[in-house]
Amino acid sequence: MTTTTQQATQETVAASARGLTKTYGQGDAQVHALRGVDLDLPRGRFTAIMGPSGSGKSTLMHCLAGLDQASGGTV
């Protein structure tokens, strides 16, 4: 999607993420659930988040909804 102003983008995007990361644990037990996710979900559209078990789908949705805090990036 290409727009000329940030205001136009905000009006057409329901949710957005830039450089989103989420890491659980520390040291050898560290798990990177999200690594630099960039995403725009258009307003008024259906979007499917698909992938194998453990690929970060629920973590992504929880961060986008504000239920979980990302380790880095912006929502």
Mind listing the pLDDT tens digit of every residue in the chain (75 residues)?
444 445 555 569 999 999 999 999 999 999 999 999 999 999 999 999 999 999 999 999 999 999 999 999 999
**pLDDT value of position 29:** 95
**pLDDT value of position 10:** 58
Is 28 inside any structural domain? yes
Is 2 inside any structural domain? no
Is 5 inside any structural domain? no
How many domains are contained in the chain?
1
Domain that holds residue 51: 14-74
Name 32's Cβ contacts closer than 8 Å, sequence gap at least 6.
Answer: 21, 22, 23
Is 9 inside any structural domain? no
**Amino acid present at 26:** Q
Is 3 inside any structural domain? no
Name 38's Cβ contacts closer than 8 Å, sequence gap at least 6.
Answer: 17, 18, 19, 20
d(CA 71, CA 51): 21
Is 8 inside any structural domain? no
d(CA 58, CA 56): 6
